[in-house]
Structure 1
Amino acid sequence: MSSSSPVAPATDPADDQAPVALDKRVVYVIFAALVAAMFLSSLDQSVVSTALPTIVGDLGAVADEGWIVTAYLLAIAIVMPIYGKIGDLFGRRWPFLVSITIFLLGSLGSALSTSFEMLVTARSFQGLGAGGLVILSQAIIADIVSARDRGKYLGPMGAIFGIAAVVGPLLGGWFTEGPGWRWCFWLNVPIAAIALIVAFFTLKLPSQSSTKRFDFLGTVLLTLTTSGIVLLSSWSTVSPTRKYDWSSPWLILVLVGTVVAFALFVWWETRVDEPLIPLRLFRDPVFSVSVSVALLLGIAMFAALSYLPTFLQMARGVGPTDSGLLMLPMMAGMMITSIGSGLLISKTGRYRLYPMIGMAVATGAIVWLTFITGSMSMVLFGAMIFVLGFGMGLVIQTIVIAVQNAVDPSEVGTATSTNNFLREIGAAVGTSVFGTVFTSRLIGNLDSVMDRIPKGTLPEHMHANDLTPSMVKDLPEPLHTDVVNAYVDAMAPTFWYLVPVAAVGFVLSLFLRDKALSTQAGLQARGESLASG
């Protein structure tokens, strides 16, 4: 039950200018803090990508470099549903402030790390905060802005993902070549500190005193399930440094444990009074279609994006920073449609059309990517990824609006976290599957090339797994062309594995229905007012 007093009556629901719970100037200030927080969370998923070789080299852990990324993503995925539920039960002000603080401390620990173990621990801690930044930012917007007006705010938030995906590798490369990789984490400290201060003084959301019991057992079971999925995705990906494959009894044991934990989670959630993720939400067709599209979007789109910089570096011979610059068209496409669709949704009150068009365009873009070649024009490549970003921008935040509008205002955090959680799981699984198929084909192609090389051309100890972008660039002809073709012949067909996934997402989007967007902010719908402190 809320301890706050009711707000003044809302304005006429038919008013095109949908009411908000706060003065718009205050909303903009809060929004700026939320955008900064979400940008930090998204940025840290990509900023270390170009710095990884240097980081693990400095810390002496080349064989375990994947843990720096896995630890962060695993922590984010685990805590997303937890933050969503806690926000619904007890209010979002303090969980948001705590998540920023945790992220700030994790960033500080990462920057000061003197060992690989310390860095992985700090990255995990950082992820525990980052998961809250994403979920609570979107849920807070739902608290202070009506669903009808929400597109104006969630649209730019959706663009943040595209911006971070490009800016992250650029900054990572620049820091690595300049002041040092630790600045990948030092950068977060002042921005997070400012966001924390702004949020503390402006984010006066009400606290709640709920008599409902938090679902601790469901949390444990979902944590085990999530950990299993992410670890299976990470460990089963074929790579030169892999420790496990599907012949390993450890991997089989993790798989069995994950299936059992998931089955127990589903069983428990149907019996507990206040489930972590209420399965009854899936009975709503708008909710179930939207989160299903989020899952498939994560599998198809993020898998495609993860390996395109590799193509640019290995096939085109560009550096890490330049490969990030060449991804700018994708960011432009996403920004245009994410912001544009948000404005149109606010103006028309309809959202169904945008995921349909977005999934169709994105599916077409993935089909187009199957035609990449090592000698293709970078203008043509830019057009391909622009179209991909154009499609993604129409989907990512639109389905968040649909999900939030489909549930009771008291469950908006849970709905938001479920959508984002499934997208993250999809991204982990999709990237793993794509990586496994691509790398398996690549190793076979490269081994075939290396077998044809006359003895003495390369050092005797060198094999396919040793090739780096700089080494490929310096290879003599025709060996250079053969290696580039090996990469292209491995990657281009692999995109076909993503096409059916994206196509299913498009078909599902056809079943999405427009549901009248609420003209009341979440606080108003729940009869709550701003907290006094």
Structure 2
Amino acid sequence: MRMPWRATAAQAEVPVVDQEQRDEKADASFDKEANASQPRALDNDSEEFTPNAQDGVKKIEATTTVWSKRDLIIAYILIWLIMFVDSMQQGATGSLTAYVTSDFYQHSLTGYTSTMSSIIGGVLKLPLAKVLDIFGRPQGFMLMVAFMVLGLIMMAACNDVQVYAAAQIFYWVGYNGLSYTLGIFVADTSSLKNRGFMYAYISSPYIATVWIAGPLATAFLNGPGWRWCFGAFAIITVAITLPLYFLFQLNYKKAVKRGIIVPTKSNRTFMESVKYYAIEFDVGGLFLVMGGLVFFLLPFNLYSYQEGQWKSPLVISFFIIGGLMLIAFALFEKYYAAKTFIPYSLLLDRTVIGACILSAVLFVSWYIWHSYFFSFLQVVNGVSVTEATYILNIYSIGSCFFSFIVGIAIRWTGRFKWIALYFGVPVTILGVGLLIHFRQPDVNIGYIVMTQIFIAFAGGACVITEQIAVMAATDHQYVAVVLALEGMFSSIGGGIGSSIATAVWTGVFPKRLAEYLPPESQGALQDIYAQLTVQMSYAKGTPTRIAIERAYSDAQKYMNIGGTAILILAIPAVMMWRDIKVKDFKQVKGRVI
């Protein structure tokens, strides 16, 4: 593993040379970089910038070198507040979608909106990682804030569902990017041994906001209206995010004044700048990987709209094109890229591969067993909307809470692999496997709650450890990139899982309904299949309701079996990880947690 290079005492005392000497000694491409900076000793430990690091990484390392303990504490308070507002905002605004589309009497675009915003928001983490590395963390942070605020303003002002659909894409790109950027901030300002705990800390607002979002949305609907909800959060988002941006920028300027980092201006022409940034962003590699992922993921969400479904020429061609582009990406990065998006050695690193596979497998399983869970709780278990929401929120609360325990365990032992291998993955398999038996009519709802607690605690362990795994496999320079890569595997897993769930549901539920419904209800089969309200209109204990519950249970049984079976792949995925002791090396620079 590459370890951060530590300068000797003699090297640390060498003074900063003037611009002419730097230009003679630096690499030619490095000389021309816009806002380029020269490395020098950072602190009393004589550490230098991460070798070969790009400007964004150097800037954050210089920032954390000069800021005080007070600034570090303020930064984490601001990050927590931003996460609190964003999680509350996401829950409240998400609850209003049905009311927005109902006001316009149009629902046809909402499915496509969800699909496109999910895919676009996922793949754009890749170029965002390069923005963070080349231009800086605060710049990427504010770019994502701008996307999110633009989306909120468009939703507040929209007069038709088409504009609302476009606004959703801007919003989700910003929201996902903002959460990702805050995660990079935490990685930049915490040691590996404490990073799991700090990730748990910034996730903790979800424990509270799951209870706030619903009443808040209701208050806006019953009061000024849904437009004011979007407009209010547009203003609040700007107000809550700007202080963190200024905190980082002020400390960066402090580092410049102290001479720790020396900005220089480029003398390149416009075309030279285009060529330079094309190389820095690895435009060829990004085009291939982003295009490949879009072509690969879209069929999983759109196949049901095509005649012939999986046999549709469009679906088949999308899969072929996507697969070829992803293969071309790997070959391009190895043989042709002037500057690789991610080192080829990392693409083949067993810890990185194993963590990405675990991420994909968990999302495949989640989308298989979790799809239609809300409807199942209402129809089969007969719970109210509020009660069903509470049960669904068990995962958010439990996983966030248990993440703290996982973070403490990583700090105490200095290792993370054992947590995933001996607790996270086995307990996840246990929880999902128990659903096969307990998601049946006449089973006490308490058993389902028990399985959700198992899955929540295990999920908190798996998510934290897989993120620590990809970061521990590299140095500070590639932290943003490997986290983006891990996120992309989550998107792939989600697309595959949702398509499997849809295929099982459409293949099993209507057939079982036709088989179980009494003769007097056969004429209403299509309405029962299509509408949750019709399903619940039949009283509990009537022959028709019993038939509907049996059909639900049959479909859910196959979905739970599929969700459990795919989790078996998580065991070898974790076994692939190197048993890295995170106390053994220092990845980040300066004053960190």
The aligned residue for residue 415 of structure 1 is: 482
Counterparts of 1:5-404 in structure 2, within 5 Å, are 6-10=41-45, 21=65, 22-38=67-83, 51-158=96-203, 170=214, 174=218, 178=222, 182=227, 185-186=230-231, 188-204=233-249, 206=252, 213-236=280-303, 238=304, 245-270=309-334, 271-356=336-421, 357-371=423-437, 372-404=439-471
The aligned residue for residue 273 of structure 2 is: none
Rate the CA distance shift 1:52–1:416 in 2: closer, same or farther, 3 A. same
> C-alpha displacement at 1:43, in angstroms?
6.7
Alpha-carbon distance between aligned partners in 2 of 1:484 and 1:147, rounded to the nearest angstrom = 48
Alpha-carbon distance between aligned partners in 1 of 2:480 and 2:509, rounded to the nearest angstrom = 42
Q: Is the 8 A contact 1:354 1:394 kept in 2?
A: yes
Of stretches 111-120 and 252-261 in structure 1, the one that deviates more from structure 2 is 252-261
The aligned residue for residue 555 of structure 2 is: 490
- 2:309 is paired with a residue whose SS is coil
Of stretches 100-109 and 514-523 in structure 1, the one that deviates more from structure 2 is 514-523
Rate the CA distance shift 1:154–1:504 in 2: closer, same or farther, 3 A. same
The aligned residue for residue 522 of structure 1 is: 588
Rate the CA distance shift 1:392–1:305 in 2: closer, same or farther, 3 A. same
Alpha-carbon distance between aligned partners in 2 of 1:32 and 1:244, rounded to the nearest angstrom = 53
Of stretches 396-405 and 380-389 in structure 1, the one that deviates more from structure 2 is 396-405
Rate the CA distance shift 1:66–1:6 in 2: closer, same or farther, 3 A. farther
Of stretches 41-50 and 398-407 in structure 1, the one that deviates more from structure 2 is 41-50
> C-alpha displacement at 1:387, in angstroms?
0.5
TM-score when scaled to structure 2?
0.77
> C-alpha displacement at 1:161, in angstroms?
6.9
The aligned residue for residue 16 of structure 1 is: none
Q: Is the 8 A contact 2:368 2:562 kept in 1?
A: no
Which of 468, 481, 506 matches 1:439? 506
Matched letter for residue 195 of structure 2: R
Q: Is the 8 A contact 1:235 1:243 kept in 2?
A: no
Rate the CA distance shift 1:39–1:407 in 2: closer, same or farther, 3 A. farther
- 2:577 is paired with a residue whose SS is coil
- 1:150 is paired with a residue whose SS is helix
Of stretches 73-82 and 310-319 in structure 1, the one that deviates more from structure 2 is 310-319
Q: Is the 8 A contact 2:469 2:577 kept in 1?
A: no
Q: Is the 8 A contact 1:49 1:169 kept in 2?
A: no
Alpha-carbon distance between aligned partners in 1 of 2:169 and 2:389, rounded to the nearest angstrom = 25
Matched letter for residue 365 of structure 1: G
> C-alpha displacement at 1:391, in angstroms?
0.6
> C-alpha displacement at 1:473, in angstroms?
4.0
> C-alpha displacement at 1:148, in angstroms?
2.0
Partner deviation per Cα, 1:251-285 (whole Å, 9 max, x = no partner):
23322322232232222222212233433203332
Confirm whether residue 2 of structure 1 aligns to residue 37 of structure 2: yes
Q: Percent identity?
A: 19
Matched letter for residue 321 of structure 2: G
Rate the CA distance shift 1:464–1:412 in 2: closer, same or farther, 3 A. same
Rate the CA distance shift 1:3–1:98 in 2: closer, same or farther, 3 A. farther
Confirm whether residue 468 of structure 1 aligns to residue 532 of structure 2: yes
Matched letter for residue 346 of structure 1: R
Rate the CA distance shift 1:170–1:321 in 2: closer, same or farther, 3 A. farther
> C-alpha displacement at 1:221, in angstroms?
2.1
Alpha-carbon distance between aligned partners in 2 of 1:461 and 1:443, rounded to the nearest angstrom = 8
Confirm whether residue 429 of structure 1 aligns to residue 496 of structure 2: yes
> C-alpha displacement at 1:66, in angstroms?
1.0
Rate the CA distance shift 1:502–1:183 in 2: closer, same or farther, 3 A. farther
Which residues of structure 1 form unaligned runs of 5+?
13-19
Q: Is the 8 A contact 1:330 1:382 kept in 2?
A: no
Partner deviation per Cα, 1:41-88 (whole Å, 9 max, x = no partner):
667776666555444332333233312322321221121111112212
> C-alpha displacement at 1:410, in angstroms?
1.0
Considering Cα pairs closer than 8 Å and 6+ residues apart, tell me whether 1 or 2 has the greater RCO: 1
Alpha-carbon distance between aligned partners in 2 of 1:143 and 1:509, rounded to the nearest angstrom = 25
Which of 1 and 2 has greater Rg? 2
Alpha-carbon distance between aligned partners in 2 of 1:284 and 1:111, rounded to the nearest angstrom = 46
> C-alpha displacement at 1:352, in angstroms?
1.4
Rate the CA distance shift 1:353–1:281 in 2: closer, same or farther, 3 A. same
Alpha-carbon distance between aligned partners in 1 of 2:161 and 2:564, rounded to the nearest angstrom = 38
Q: Is the 8 A contact 1:54 1:176 kept in 2?
A: no
Q: Is the 8 A contact 1:158 1:396 kept in 2?
A: no
Alpha-carbon distance between aligned partners in 2 of 1:203 and 1:244, rounded to the nearest angstrom = 54
Q: Is the 8 A contact 2:284 2:337 kept in 1?
A: no
Q: Is the 8 A contact 1:363 1:499 kept in 2?
A: yes
Partner deviation per Cα, 1:165-187 (whole Å, 9 max, x = no partner):
x5698469746974555566456
Q: Is the 8 A contact 2:186 2:195 kept in 1?
A: yes
Q: Is the 8 A contact 1:359 1:506 kept in 2?
A: yes
Alpha-carbon distance between aligned partners in 2 of 1:137 and 1:281, rounded to the nearest angstrom = 23
- 1:8 is paired with a residue whose SS is coil
Matched letter for residue 440 of structure 1: G
Partner deviation per Cα, 1:392-412 (whole Å, 9 max, x = no partner):
000112221221121121111
Partner deviation per Cα, 1:483-518 (whole Å, 9 max, x = no partner):
112111111221111212212112321332332326
Matched letter for residue 124 of structure 1: I
- 1:192 is paired with a residue whose SS is helix
Rate the CA distance shift 1:411–1:466 in 2: closer, same or farther, 3 A. closer
Alpha-carbon distance between aligned partners in 1 of 2:469 and 2:202, rounded to the nearest angstrom = 15
Alpha-carbon distance between aligned partners in 2 of 1:280 and 1:162, rounded to the nearest angstrom = 39
> C-alpha displacement at 1:460, in angstroms?
6.1
Matched letter for residue 431 of structure 1: S
Q: Is the 8 A contact 2:379 2:535 kept in 1?
A: no
Which residues of structure 2 form unaligned runs of 5+?
1-35, 48-63, 253-260, 265-275
TM-score when scaled to structure 1?
0.85
> C-alpha displacement at 1:143, in angstroms?
1.3
> C-alpha displacement at 1:353, in angstroms?
1.4
